[in-house]
Amino acid sequence: MAQEQVSNERLISALSYLLGPVTGIIFLVTEKNNKFIRFHAMQSTLFFGSVILLNLVLAIVPIIGWLIALIISPFLTLVTFIGWLFLMWKAFNGEMYRLPYFGDLAEKQLERLK
């Protein structure tokens, strides 16, 4: 039974990255006790939410934002995709991997939610 619980914890943590902030928020709301799942859900929400926000800002800012977006967007998309796969892999393997800045921020936000 304990092995199955660990497997479920890892799977749910990996799934918290599946749809970025959407699944992150879902697992933050539904999971109240498991620190591992909550950490990955919060990190997913913060990281992928920031990527979406950056893309929105670049899309809204006229001319200069569009030029920057045109140059940065392919690179940002590639980095985000690689990060998405990497974070799901780390969570699925039971590792509490902390992204620079976002990992610490996720921990602080979870402390505030208690």
The per-residue pLDDT for range 33-73, each reduced to its tens digit, is: 999 999 999 999 999 999 999 888 877 877 777 787 788 88
Q: How confident is the model at residue 13 (pLDDT cuts 50, 70, 90)?
A: very high
Nearest to 37 by CA among 50, 22, 47, 23: 23
23 pLDDT above the threshold of 80? yes
Separation between Cα atoms, residue 95 and residue 5, nearest integer Å: 15
- The mean pLDDT value of the chain amounts to 91
Which pTM value belongs to this model? 0.89
Separation between Cα atoms, residue 80 and residue 13, nearest integer Å: 18
Our CA angle for 67, 87, 98, nearest 5°, is 95
User: By mean pLDDT, which of 9-18, 68-77, 100-109 is the weakest?
Assistant: 68-77
Tell me 43's DSSP state.
H
In the chain, the percentage of residues whose pLDDT exceeds 70 is 96
pLDDT of residue 98: 96
* Residues 6+ positions from 86 with CB-CB distance below 8 Å: none
Domain boundaries, the chain: 2-96
Straight-line distance from the first to the last Cα atom of the chain, in angstroms, rounded to the nearest whole number = 28
Per-residue CA distances from 20 to 1, 5, 25, 36, 92 (Å): 30, 23, 9, 17, 15
